[in-house]
Amino acid sequence: MRCRPRLTASLTAVLIGMTTGSLVVSAADCHPGLPTVVRSAQSGLWSAPATWAGGKVPGVGARVLIREGHRIVYDLHSDQAIRGINIAGILSFATDKDTRLDVGLIRIQAGEEYSEEGFDCDAHVAPSDTTRPRPALEVGTPAAPISARHKSLIRLTYFTGMDKDSCPAIVCCGGRMDFHGSPMSRTWVKLGSTATKGAKTITLTEKVEGWRVGDRIIVTATQSNHKTSGTRRPNQRTQDVFTEERVIMALRGTELTLDKELTHEHRGTGDYRGAVANLSRNVVIESADPKGLRGHTMYHRGSAGAITYAEFRHLGKEGLLGRYALHFHLCGDTMRGSYVQGASIWDSHNRWLTIHGTNYLVVRDCIGYQSVGHGFFFEDGTEVYNVLDRNLAVQAYLGKKLPKQVHVDDTNDGAGFWWANSLNTFTRNCSCENDRYGFRYDARPIVSRAASVTFRIQQPDGTKRPIDIRTLPFVRFEDNEAHCDGAYGLNLGNGVERVGPDRRHPFVIRGMKIWDTHLAFVPAPPCVLVEDMRIFNTIYGVHVPNYDHHVYRNMHMIDVLGEPFNRGHDDRSIQYGPLTVDGLTFEGKCANPLIQISDDNPTGTAVSHFKNVKVVNRPQKWSKYTLVNLGVSPRPGPKTPLGVPIYLHDYYGPGRHAKVVSSRAKDLIGDGNQYRAAPPLTGTNRAWPKSANSSSPTCSIPSTICLRLP
């Protein structure tokens, strides 16, 4: 049955809901200028005429509704684009052949109405009726992924008349959406040896299964010019970009042969190595016109499904809130048990993967490469109990603020991993060459919106209560790595205004490795426990710290060229509470005083305790710098009457400690003890010159002095 022009209102009313055999005719069938909706008549192959009401396979520009109870197997490899497919039954891609579907919209939602609207379907989707089958899109299943012998491709294609802000797209509204490609043993691995400039072969640390000739790979950067702000844009190649794309021409054991020689050297020995990541998958979702209107994908509340070893490329609508390459939108805990594993998400114009108002999602072994704005992104701070494990984030670019974003102070300036609520798990993730941050925790309060960091957070018993999200610790933060990022390795809460977890539930950071970046570690909250952190080849080590019940154990700094262990709040030189450090090694070219002392003690409780401090393998030209001092930038006089003492336990031998104080701390040097200069432990402070043209300090001032304790 086809629509006739200029239907009267009364006739339209009669047509709505009228049944003709198995065909239901609705207002959607009669949209002016568009073809009649083609409905499934029975289960069967997409290519079989008998599958469709009217006995004709949907053609170019068709609007299709797969009705409840029907299972349609898509078995074509066609460039004839379908305008839209609404799935109330099941659309399953054939697993025994190559398939290709060009489409403007796939919408997975129960009902007999065809629609190209309702992208905020979370607002009106009814609770799932467990007595009825759930609508589903299946491009492989967990038990039966698309075989490595075949490829399934979905190309999102814009059609005139569709909402440009929302289409093309794949949207799951309470249904099930599954994408499952051929598994890999690893999606990314470290280099097994240094890949030299000009090389066409590279070696991996382990043999990988599932990689093939013709796959696109990246070899990540292992050097940086330590820029302090991001300026790159997608696909821009400038001299400060060192990650390289190549194609595999041959594989033999752990050795890969590339299509072109490498332009840069990539470190592959010792503790600091580059990675090789495979971007190619045999299940692919892409935009048909990456330079035009790009597509996006999203799960809504009440949906189900999982993703393994699928590739999402050229997606994301730049500058639009909620239109990301892969988006879990306000799902709450309704998708508990869902996961994204082994996905490749690259060349996105708006994030890689966004977790928004969604809990209990597992994201593991995924690769994000080139994104406008932050890459792996928790959107508003309500997200809890999610797991990000062993993901690789490369080149999240400088973007712009998105309209109506919750955190209005976030400038979207390129973080590999960004979150506002730490009650999640981050383990074994790696960031590289992102424009601004490797890892960024950002829960800054907004003066005009006093409750902006207080949200209703789900509790272990399922209830919700208002909580200042700045007070929530990590579930786990272990064995993560950041290198070659534009400014920061790990910026932990700069701007949280000294609010954080309590002493019984601190931020715990274990096994963090930060190298070849400008500023390594910014611990802004109180109550932080750091264990086994390694910092290599950075300008700053611990920077702008809020020392207030901080404990650091086994921290190793190598070639930290500016300020290795910064004073409290940097130039403000304030310490609010105790700092305890057990195991601190400075190695190589570490400049300035290795440990800076703070001037002000406004609470009266600030004190620093150091034990097992070592300085090793230091070149002679660097030995002029003292171990403990005030720092080198211009500094005002103390603003409080109390100074901050530093104790170096066992410095002069077992049980023989050193107490170091500032020569300006009148309360400390006037305590009746005899303090003295004790180079190289203490010494004079070298001040920055007043002349901008001068390259060396113009004066020295008395700085720190020492008391030897029995």
**Tens digits of per-residue pLDDT, 2-28?**
454 333 333 333 333 333 334 444 555
Over residues 342-368, the mean pLDDT reads: 98
Q: Where are the beta strands (DSSP E) in 280-325?
A: 283-287, 296-299, 307-308, 311-313
Asked if residue 689 has pLDDT above 80, the reply is no
Asked if residue 238 belongs to a domain, the reply is: no
Q: What is the pLDDT of residue 518?
A: 95
On the 0-12 / 13-18 / 19+ scale of CB atoms within 10 A, 426 is buried
For residue 114, count CB atoms less than 10 angstroms from its CB and return exposed for 0-12, middle for 13-18, buried for 19 or more: buried
What are the structure tokens assigned to 5, written together?
Answer: 């022009």
Q: Collapse the DSSP code of 26 into the 3-class scheme (helix H, G, I; strand E, B; otherwise coil) and give the result.
A: coil
Confidence of residue 29 (pLDDT cuts 50, 70, 90): low
Domain annotation covers residue 166:
yes
- Mean predicted lDDT score pLDDT of the chain: 90
Classify the C-alpha dihedral 621-622-628-631 as positive or negative.
positive
Question: What is the model's pLDDT at position 565?
Answer: 97
Instruction: Tell me, yes or no, whether 500 lies in a domain.
Output: no
Q: Which domain holds residue 130?
A: 9-54+62-139+150-178
Question: What is the reported pLDDT for 18?
Answer: 38
Q: How many domains does the chain have?
A: 1
Q: Is residue 77 part of a domain?
A: yes
pLDDT given for residue 7 in this prediction = 33
CB contact at 8 A, 451 and 403? no
19, part of any domain: yes
Residue 14 lies in a domain: yes
pLDDT band for 663, please (50, 70, 90 cuts).
Answer: confident
Query: Residue 234: its pLDDT value, please?
Result: 54
DSSP 3-state assignment of 73? strand
Q: For the ranges 167-181, 320-334, 662-676, which has the lowest average pLDDT?
A: 662-676
pLDDT over 70 percentage in the chain: 87
In a domain, 118, yes or no: yes
A 10 A CB-CB count for 191 gives 22
CA dihedral 110, 113, 115, 119 (to 10 degrees): -40
Q: Is residue 169 part of a domain?
A: yes
Residue 65 · residue 91 · CB < 8 Å: no
* Greatest alpha-carbon span in the chain: 103
**C-alpha to C-alpha distances, 315 to 71, 138, 292, 468, 571, nearest whole angstrom:** 28, 20, 11, 34, 43
Question: What is the pLDDT, as a whole number, of residue 639?
Answer: 87
Between 601 and 693, the more confident residue is 601
pLDDT at position 408, please? 86
The pLDDT of residue 15 is 35
Q: Among the ranges 27-36, 231-240, 519-528, 613-622, which has the highest mean pLDDT value?
A: 519-528
pLDDT of residue 452: 73
What's 632's DSSP letter? S
> How many Cβ atoms sit within 10 Å of the Cβ of residue 479?
17
The CA-based angle 37-41-47, given to 5 degrees, is: 85
Reported as a single tens digit per residue, the pLDDT across 531-568 is 999 999 999 999 999 999 999 999 999 999 999 999 99
Residues in the chain: 710
> Using 50, 70 and 90 to split pLDDT, how confident is the model at 309?
very high
- pLDDT at position 480, please? 98
Q: Is pLDDT above 80 for 632?
A: no
Whether 390 has a pLDDT exceeding 70, the answer reads yes
Phi and psi at 438, nearest 5°, equal -80, -60
- pLDDT 10s digits, 91-112: 999 999 999 999 999 999 999 9
DSSP-assigned letters across all residues of 195-215: B-TT-SEEEBSS--SS--TT-
Mean of pLDDT values over 444-457: 72
CA dihedral 158, 341, 407, 125 (to 10 degrees): 60
In this prediction, residue 690 has a pLDDT band, given cuts at 50, 70 and 90, of very low
